[in-house]
Amino acid sequence: MTTLVKVEVFESLSEEEERDRLHLERKVERAFYEAGKALQALRNRRLYRSTHTTFEDYCCDRFGFQRRHPYRLIDAAAVVDNLVEMCPNWTQILPTAENQVRPLTQLGPNQQRSCWQEAVEEAGGKVPSGRLVKDIVQRIKERTKIPNPFCCGEVCQILPKDNPELRGKRGCWAIVRETHDFSCTIQLWDGEYSVKLEHLKSLELSSAQCQKVQKLCDRLTRLRQMGSADRGMEMLLSGLGKQTYLTELEEKLLRTAEEFFGIHQTFSRSQAKGQ
């Protein structure tokens, strides 16, 4: 019985075609990186302001991105920059997709390098999968467990990253209510949340400043309870929820809203300003 064997004959490429192929392959591999760098410039320069009030709404309308996706791409591009800077000897083996980089955003710059290098080695010298990188990140975190750096009453900034519950909270302050091994319970003007440590960044405020933010939080919370059905109230509260102290105009706006809903608040102008 004769067995037929299919033999594929490939056409060789010229040197110019080989260069073009490599160049185009690099473009495909770096697509997520280029997108992240472009989104970072659009956000930092606020080039969306002619059509949209927020970067998130702009990305949703223009690119169809969910709110957290552009930030993932921006964070991923920063990780790639770090890998290129710190690992010049093997930059040819770099991430080719955002999901390969996403777990690395939980680590510091030096750990990102060691984790990626370990992942490349376990993948046999090839680009590792996102699952492999995630597993190695988890092992590193377990080996390098550190105490919770936050304390109750501390005021931190929200870093939403990939947490859908924190959508729209980028830049907002939060007050730490409880600390756990790998998470904190925090209070924002619109309620309490449980978040991982990587979703918080200390604002390093003094005790007096933290107390003032707490008073502001109490005022915003009461106001939200009274005027939660009002669209304008939600816009006001979300804006003030990013300020650790109020300007004179912001204080007047807040007082006006409190008076409108019958909330009488004794709060001097000097108390509204930070030290």
- Residue 182's pLDDT is what? 75
For residue 202, the model assigns a pLDDT of 92
pLDDT tops 90 at residue 15: no
Q: Are 129 and 152 members of one domain?
A: no
269 and 213 together in one domain: yes
Lowest mean pLDDT among 12-26, 129-143, 158-172: 12-26
Average pLDDT over residues 15-24: 79
Q: How many domains does the chain have?
A: 2
Whether 165 and 270 map to the same domain: the answer is: yes
Residue 204 lies in a domain: yes
One-letter amino acid of 187 = Q
Segment 92-116 shows an average pLDDT of: 88
Mean pLDDT in residue range 108-131: 90
User: Which pLDDT score is estimated for 272?
Assistant: 43
163-220, pLDDT tens digit by residue?
777 888 888 999 999 998 778 999 998 888 888 888 999 998 999 999 999 999 999 9
Same domain (yes/no): 161, 270? yes
**Does 105 share its domain with 177?**
no
Question: Helices then strands (H, E): number in the chain?
Answer: 11, 5
- Domain residue limits at 65: 24-143
Q: Are residues 139 and 152 in the same domain?
A: no
Domain end residue (candidates: 88, 121, 143) = 143
Residue 185: inside a domain:
yes
* DSSP codes, 11-68: PP--HHHHHHHHHHHHHHHTHHHHHHHHHHHHHHTTTTTTT-SSHHHHHHHHH---TT
Residues 38, 105, single domain; the answer is yes
Task: Taking residues 44-49, report their average pLDDT.
Answer: 87
Rounded to 5 degrees, what are φ and ψ at 191? 140, -175
Q: b/e string for 237-248 if b means 16 or more Cβ within 10 A?
A: bbebbebebbee
* 11 found inside a domain: no
Instruction: Kindly report the average pLDDT of the chain as a whole number.
Output: 84
What is the C-alpha R_g of the chain? Answer: 25
Last residue of a domain, one of 123, 143, 163: 143
Do 104 and 210 lie in one domain? The reply is no
pLDDT for position 265: 53
Name which of 37-46, 55-64, 88-97, 244-253 the model is least confident about.
88-97
Q: Which long-range contacts link 158-161 to residues 24+ away (Cβ below 8 Å)?
A: 158/188, 158/195, 158/199, 158/200, 159/198, 159/199, 159/200, 159/201, 160/68, 160/71, 160/199, 161/68, 161/71, 161/72, 161/75, 161/105, 161/198, 161/199
- Residues 137 and 253 placed together within one structural domain of the fold: no
Query: Do residues 269 and 157 both lie within one domain?
Result: yes
Q: How much of the chain, in percent, has pLDDT values that exceed 70?
A: 88
Contacts of residue 128, defined as CB under 8 A and 6 or more positions apart, other chains included, come to 100, 116, 119, 120, 122
d(CA 75, CA 119): 19
- pLDDT (average), residues 9-38: 80
pLDDT at res. 130: 93
Measured between alpha carbons, how far is 126 from 220 in angstroms, rounded to an integer?
A: 52
Q: What local confidence, expressed as pLDDT, does residue 177 receive?
A: 93
pLDDT band with cut points at 50, 70 and 90 for residue 29: low
Are 157 and 225 found together in one domain?
A: yes
* 206 inside domain: yes
Q: Does the pLDDT value for residue 13 go beyond 90?
A: no
Beta strands in the chain (DSSP E): 155-158, 173-179, 183-188, 191-196, 200-202
Section 94-121 average pLDDT: 89
Residues recorded for the chain: 275
Q: For residue 273, give every residue at least 6 positions away whose Cβ sits within 8 Å of its Cβ, in sequence order, or none.
A: 245, 246, 247
Q: What is the pLDDT of residue 274?
A: 44
Quote the pTM value.
0.52
Return the pLDDT at 4. Answer: 72
| Tokens matching residue 207 | 């005790």
pLDDT digits (tens, 9 = 90+) for 67-103: 778 888 998 999 999 888 876 555 468 899 999 999 9
88 and 184 housed in the same domain:
no
Q: Which of 106, 124, 143 is the last residue of a domain?
A: 143
